[in-house]
Amino acid sequence: MPLFAQITNMLAALFLLVGFAMLAQRRIVHLINLYALQGGILALSIVTVGYGTHQESLYLSAALNGLLKVIIIPAILYRLVRRLGLVWDRENLLRVPTLLLAGLVLNIFAFNAALPIAHLAGTINHDTFGIALASVLLSLLMMIVRTTALTQVLGFLSLENGIIFAATSVTYGMPMMIELGIALDVIVGVFILGVFFFHIRDEFDSLDLQRFDRHEE
Amino acid sequence: MIAQVGHDPLDLTLAACAIWLVLAAASLALSRRPRALRALFVGGSAGSFLFLTAGLRALFAPASHMTLPFGLPQLAFHLHLDPLAAVFVVLFGFTSVAISLFAAGYLRHEPTAHVARMAGQYHLLLAAIGLVLLADDAYVFLVAWETMAWSSYLLIISDDHMVQARRAGLLYLVTEHMGAIALMLAFGILQSATHAGLAGYAFPVMRATTLTPEMASTVFALGLFGFGAKAGFLPLHAWLPEAHPVAPSPVSALLSGVLLKLGIYGLLLVTLELLHAPLWWWGIVMLVLGLTTALFGAIYSAAQNDMKRLLSYSSIENIGLILAGIGLTVLFEAYHMASLAALALMATLYHTLNHAVFKSLLFLGTGSILHATAERNLGRLGGLIHRMPWVAALLLIGSFAAAGVPPFNGFVSEWLLLQSFLGATSFPQPYLNMAVPLGAAAVVLVAGLAAYVMVKFYGISFLGQPREPALKAAEDAGPHERTGLLLLAAGCLFLGLFPAWTVDLFRPAVAQLIGPAAAQDTLAGNVFSCRLHAATQADYRPLVVLGALALVSATLVFLLRRLAPAPLRRTDAWNGGHEARTARMQDTAEGFGQPIRHVFASFFRMQIERPAAAETTPVYASRIEDPLWYAIYLPIVRSVSRLSEWVALLRRRRIAIYLLYAFATLVILLVLTP
Amino acid sequence: MTDRALALQFLQSVLVLAGAPLLAGWVEQCRAWLGNRRGAGPLQPYRVLRKLWRKELVVAHGASWVFRGAPYVLVAAMIIAGSIVPLLAPILPLAPAADAIALVGVFALARMVSALAAMDIGTAFGSMGARREMLIGFLAEPALLMVLFTPALISHSTSLAAIVRQLAATHLLLYPSMAFAASAYVMVLLAENARLPVDNPDTHLELTMIHGALHLEYTGRHLALIEWAAAIKLVTYMAIGIALFLPWGMSATGSLSGIAFATGLLAMKMTAAGAALAFIETLLAKLRLFRVPEFLGTAFMVAVLGILVHFLLGT
């Protein structure tokens, strides 16, 4: 196996590992750090793919991803956390071991579901598709079980990471325009959500989503 | 017909059964002579020894068959002794030698009438067990099976002034009968598929026919239920923790060590011998059921306070592991991975034998404790190592064996089981490849919990300070009991230290069920080692481990005596500087189980009574109940009683109504007749 | 079995025995530096051992042979474990005595012996320590086994020597699954060796102790043996980690130059690993006892993930 493919596989594995760590982590600041780490791994893996397939455009994509996900969005989120005074997430809807076990089952499912799809793709390195799919599912799981708005947003952001990862690992890069579009969407999304958080808090005195449910009743 | 193939080992086993029957009859004649009654048990032990030697010889002889000159019309009774049965003959023979010897000493304090009754029932039970193993047709098998159920029921309720004992016995009997009905149906289906009339009840005829997958699966399901009721798979386990504590200890040992194993024997007989072409999903069902049972048993046994209940839950755990081993065997066999199937079967049989030996040892040990202290609650024991050095030393071996640590025997089978899980990675289905190795994690979790349970059992009963003043008068076991315990402990050590020899005992049975080639090349080794063949190079040498342990410790003792000869001084315990220290400050059994209750809280149905802050006489109590009892058993009871209420509606007190029923039935039948 | 292999076995056993306190001292020294203290130097454990050696042996009333025998069995078990893991070359004659699974079993034996010894005198602290130790044991063992399964699956063997040969022979083949196994292994190592965040090795408060509470009643040479066994256990765990995750540089045949090179490299690896351990411990705070299942559960899941990734990615 060529070295670059090995490194991609390794990065894919680390990507998934961080996804798992996010599922288990309760502290919001650490969650943001993990998100930044995941972004960094994503950028590195794009660089590796770019190097391996000689697509210079991917370097630009990597730089963009790195800038956005390692520096800008985490910085915004840190500011939000500080301004909103959040440290801990409330308890999850499920206990952490149960949650991780569910994540594990999702993984087995995703890996097996990806096998036939990945073989259709026919690129050099289709193994990582299963990992990308698993990360997307893990992020969705995280969004489901978390109880505060900010952690759900982090789940959403990590989901987006997973999609970009799937794109680069399976098809070796999307057209630049799409990628730029997604990046723009994400950053605008984060800004809007930031504004929303303040409104939500002013309205309900909390970012706890379980309270919203109670207000509806 | 008799002299067809019939040869020595089978004759010997029959002789042993005859001895037991004679002893059972003799107990009626000797019902007023306690010494003679106890001598009967020594005689029973001799019978067991005969049985054991026959089994050992039968292992390496070709299977022998015998047709008795009597039986049903058109169905003479068939007996056989093949390698699979021989493995269980050896298991039963060895454990019952020790149990009978123990019983001879144990019963010396019991009232004579009681001993007489027990002697009769006990030897009848032994003969029935022997006949179950020798049966070669469904009829003999079921007759022996039912005799076994009845005689063991009578033994369980032998303390019949205890309400608990009667209730436990009833639960046992009902479960057994449900199981027996399932077995009758299973054998019935097998027989009808042979199209050979009554002769189709003979096992060789059943073996020669092939069933459709649907029929085979039905037989499998019925067999799993029927034998599961005997072995105690979830959710048919409920009788175990009720019946074991109330039965006299030798009987508990026999129940746990041998009777549960007959369920395993039956399951192996049906799934791998009579149905000989298993489907893969049977394996999955048994694997999942087995691991769930094992985990359930382990968690619950860690939460028990009664030492015999704790051990009986631990039996459930071990039975679960054995079932998981059978599941793995069937899974491999269904995918034609013969050498792995052979490995998994070796692990299964090994664990079956191990469990029989160490669990009998532990149950007999609780008998000695019970005699010395009249106390089953762990929270009222403690410090017995000083008063009962023999029992303490021998039970330490049993505890290590049950915890599955090297170089004791529990570890060997665990090692084999884990190795077979590790091989489970080349199935044609990717889901199986990813999911089955996770079973190994469950096995290790169960083993870790077993170690927890054994530390609790041994540490609380034998170590520490005596929790009650009466314990200071406890007496060690007598010579008969000691011999029984010693035999079983020696068995634990032998099985732990000489795995290669033990594996050779199972090789013929594996050849019978899986195939001779696979049996030959699965495991190798000499006195020192146990080595997996071909695929993996793993190696385990318990003698070297034990030798190194002993050598290094001895060297250290010697060197330290020389180099650091500081004197030894006895004083009060340091206890972190706290002066007050009474026996009541030690962990009770409840306290020791607290982490388990906390970590696995969602598994229990738990009631905790906590004292209020200002209470002057605070009481803390926690009660743990089996959620399956509420989820499964009680609904069944309720629906049965509802059903019987409906039936009661049909009963009017006037005789004319009944005559009307009879009349209507007659008319309907006449109408239906073509 | 050659003379060279025997000599190597002897060398390794002695190295593990004699070097264990040095590693423990080095970790303590690094922790001191990271905590802005001067520290007592990496040789401090030797001084402690010598002091304990000379002290009078005080044994509580009511202690049975279980209590007095346990320290010897503990040290013996640890020495066996330390003699089996390939450190310098995978040709040890003792190695076939136990494969990776049996090694876990030997640790379980040691754990059980120390828990039983702690309960022997019958103090509240002793049985509390025993139950906590057994709790961590049954939580950590599945995780450890799953960690060991990944390399066992890669090399088709549970024998540590075979695993090392397979992993060290292939030049620069990255195994993604091993990244998972390694992170899970670090968590298990912390828990099994009574380090932060599971147990605080520096605490003086009995109620928060695990390892400390187990051995509260030991004095004199018994205590020295127990401290020593703990140090050997740490070295052995480090050695397993190095053998599984950083096996490069080990001598395949046991030639003299190869051994010399491997020894030098091992010293560097151990130094780095010790510093890394101290660093990790400095970053972490002690977990509440009932957060420990969560911690080890995470380790378990990560190790299982490694196995799954192994199935997905093949290599």
8 Å CB contact of C96 and B594: no
8 Å CB contact of C313 and A9: yes
8 Å CB contact of C109 and B406: yes
- pLDDT tens-digit series, residues B172-211: 999 999 999 999 999 999 998 888 888 888 888 888 888 8
8 Å CB contact of B404 and C105: yes
CA torsion angle A51 A53 A59 A65 (round to 10): -110
Confidence of residue C203 (pLDDT cuts 50, 70, 90): confident
Give the pLDDT score at A217: 45
Alpha-carbon distance B431 to nearest alpha carbon in chain A (angstroms):
7
Question: What tokens does B113 get?
Answer: 């009438």
Poorest-pLDDT segment among A35-39, C239-243, C287-291: C287-291
- pLDDT tens-digit series, residues B330-356: 999 999 888 889 999 999 999 999 999
Query: Kind and range of the H or E element at B608?
Result: strand B605-609
8 Å CB contact of A107 and C183: no
Alpha-carbon distance A175 to nearest alpha carbon in chain C (angstroms):
27
Domain ranges of chain C: 3-313
Block residue for tokens 């194993």:
B261
Among B390, B455, B467, B558, which would you mutate to test the C interface (most chain C Cβ atoms within 10 Å of its Cβ)?
A: B455
Strands C57-60 and B568-571: what pairing? parallel
- pLDDT tens-digit series, residues C99-129: 889 999 999 999 999 999 999 988 888 888 9
Does position B5 have pLDDT exceeding 50, yes or no?
Answer: no
- pLDDT tens-digit series, residues C56-78: 888 988 889 999 999 999 999 99
C-beta separation of B391 from B477 below 8 A: yes
Give the pLDDT score at A193: 74
DSSP code for B217: H
Alpha-carbon distance B435 to nearest alpha carbon in chain A (angstroms):
8
Residues 385-404 of B with CB under 8 A from C: 385-386, 396, 400, 403-404
Give the pLDDT score at B528: 58
Alpha-carbon distance B598 to nearest alpha carbon in chain A (angstroms):
13
Residue B601 lies in a domain: yes
Give the 3-state secondary structure of residue B64. strand
Give the pLDDT score at B3: 40
Poorest-pLDDT segment among B80-89, B128-137, B299-308, C243-252: C243-252
Among C84, C103, C123, C165, which would you mutate to test the B interface (most chain B Cβ atoms within 10 Å of its Cβ)?
A: C123
How many residues appear in chain C? 315
- Please indicate if any CB of chain C lies within 8 Å of the CB of B435: no
Average pLDDT of span A59-70: 83
Does position C218 have pLDDT exceeding 60, yes or no?
Answer: yes
- Please report, rounded to a whole number, the percentage of residues in chain A having pLDDT higher than 90: 4
Residues 69-128 of A with CB under 8 A from C: 95-97, 100-101, 103-104, 107-108, 111, 114, 127-128
Give the pLDDT score at A211: 59
Residue B458 lies in a domain: no
Which residues on A lie below 8 Å from B435 (Cβ)? 108
Range of the domain at B51: 1-200
Give the closest residue to B596 by CA, choosing from B449, B476, B471, B377. B449
Angle between helices A56-66 and A28-53 (to 10 degrees): 170
Neighbours of A210 (CB within 10 A): 11
Q: Which of C54, C101, C304 sits opposite B418 (nearest CB)?
A: C101
Q: With 0-12 CB in 10 A as exposed, 13-18 as middle and 19+ as buried, what is B428?
A: exposed
Do residues B636 and B621 share a domain? no
Give the pLDDT score at B1: 34
Residue B609 lies in a domain: yes
C-beta separation of C125 from B575 below 8 A: yes
Alpha-carbon distance B58 to nearest alpha carbon in chain A (angstroms):
47
- Please report, rounded to a whole number, the percentage of residues in chain C having pLDDT higher than 90: 41
Instruction: For chain A, give the mean pLDDT.
Output: 77
8 Å CB contact of C96 and B529: yes
C173: left (phi over 0), alpha (psi -120 to 50) or beta: beta
8 Å CB contact of C127 and B586: yes
Confidence of residue A58 (pLDDT cuts 50, 70, 90): confident
Confidence of residue C144 (pLDDT cuts 50, 70, 90): very high
Does position C29 have pLDDT exceeding 90, yes or no?
Answer: yes
8 Å CB contact of B592 and C127: yes
DSSP code for B531: E
Give the pLDDT score at B185: 94
Does position B538 have pLDDT exceeding 80, yes or no?
Answer: no
Residue B186 lies in a domain: yes
8 Å CB contact of B434 and A111: yes
8 Å CB contact of B434 and A115: no
- Please indicate if any CB of chain C lies within 8 Å of the CB of A13: yes
8 Å CB contact of C298 and A96: yes
B539: nearest CA partner in chain C:
C96
Give the closest residue to C293 by CA, choosing from B320, B304, A24. A24
Alpha-carbon distance B513 to nearest alpha carbon in chain C (angstroms):
27
Q: Which chains reach chain A with 3 or more Cβ–Cβ distances below 8 angstroms?
A: B, C
Which residues on C lie below 8 Å from B444 (Cβ)? 104, 141-142, 145
Confidence of residue A210 (pLDDT cuts 50, 70, 90): low
- Please indicate if any CB of chain C lies within 8 Å of the CB of A135: no
Neighbours of B433 (CB within 10 A): 18
Average pLDDT of span C136-149: 90
Do residues B640 and B603 share a domain? no
- Higher pLDDT: C80 or A192? It is C80
Residue B460 lies in a domain: no
8 Å CB contact of C312 and A130: yes
Give the pLDDT score at B414: 92
Question: Can the peptide bond before residue C90 be classed as cis, meaning omega within 30 degrees of 0?
Answer: no
Alpha-carbon distance A90 to nearest alpha carbon in chain B (angstroms):
20
Which residues on A lie below 8 Å from B434 (Cβ)? 108, 111-112
Confidence of residue A89 (pLDDT cuts 50, 70, 90): low
Q: With 0-12 CB in 10 A as exposed, 13-18 as middle and 19+ as buried, what is B562?
A: exposed
- Please indicate if any CB of chain A lies within 8 Å of the CB of B560: no
A26: nearest CA partner in chain C:
C294
Residues 377-436 of B with CB under 8 A from A: 430-431, 434-435
Query: How far apart (Å, rounded) are the C-alpha atoms in residues C20 and C230?
Result: 9
Does position B402 have pLDDT exceeding 70, yes or no?
Answer: yes
Does position A37 have pLDDT exceeding 90, yes or no?
Answer: yes
Residue B226 lies in a domain: no
Instruction: For chain C, give the mean pLDDT.
Output: 88
- pLDDT tens-digit series, residues B90-99: 999 999 999 9
A115: nearest CA partner in chain B:
B430
Alpha-carbon distance B295 to nearest alpha carbon in chain A (angstroms):
16
Confidence of residue C80 (pLDDT cuts 50, 70, 90): very high
Give the closest residue to B385 by CA, choosing from C67, C126, C213. C67
Does position B155 have pLDDT exceeding 50, yes or no?
Answer: yes
Query: How far apart (Å, rounded) are the C-alpha atoms in residues B175 and B167?
Result: 12
Alpha-carbon distance C194 to nearest alpha carbon in chain A (angstroms):
22
- pLDDT tens-digit series, residues A102-137: 888 888 888 888 777 766 655 555 677 888 888 889
Confidence of residue B286 (pLDDT cuts 50, 70, 90): very high
Beta bridge partners of B607: B623
Angle between helices B260-268 and B213-231 (to 10 degrees): 170
8 Å CB contact of A10 and C311: no
Instruction: Give me the number of domains chain B comprises.
Output: 3
8 Å CB contact of A112 and B430: yes
8 Å CB contact of B575 and C116: no
Phi and psi torsions of C90, nearest 5°: -85, 50
Do residues B644 and B612 share a domain? no
Block residue for tokens 């032994």:
B126
Average pLDDT of span B319-328: 96
C-beta separation of C76 from B552 below 8 A: yes
Question: Can the peptide bond before residue B235 be classed as cis, meaning omega within 30 degrees of 0?
Answer: yes
Give the pLDDT score at A21: 86
Residues 594-653 of B with CB under 8 A from C: 594-596, 598-599
Which residues on A lie below 8 Å from B431 (Cβ)? 108, 112
Beta bridge partners of B540: B530
Query: How far apart (Å, rounded) are the C-alpha atoms in residues B152 and B149?
Result: 5
Query: How far apart (Å, rounded) are the C-alpha atoms in residues B8 and B157?
Result: 37
Alpha-carbon distance B44 to nearest alpha carbon in chain C (angstroms):
36
Question: What tokens does B146 get?
Answer: 């039912």
Do residues B59 and B15 share a domain? yes
Phi and psi torsions of B277, nearest 5°: -135, 75
Do residues B618 and B666 share a domain? no
Give the pLDDT score at B567: 79
Beta bridge partners of B605: B625
Output the DSSP codes for B85-120. Answer: HHHHHHHHHHHHHHHHHHHHHHGGGS-HHHHHHHHH
- Please indicate if any CB of chain A lies within 8 Å of the CB of B601: no
B197: left (phi over 0), alpha (psi -120 to 50) or beta: left
Confidence of residue B6 (pLDDT cuts 50, 70, 90): very low
Highest mean pLDDT: which range of B141-145, B475-479, C51-55, C198-202: B141-145
Alpha-carbon distance A35 to nearest alpha carbon in chain B (angstroms):
28
Block residue for tokens 């697509």:
A55
**Last residue in a domain, options B165, B200, B235:** B200
- Show the CA angle centred on residue B665, arms to residues B664 and B669, nearest 5°: 115
Average pLDDT of span B553-568: 84
8 Å CB contact of B431 and A115: no
Query: How far apart (Å, rounded) are the C-alpha atoms in residues B230 and B18?
Result: 25
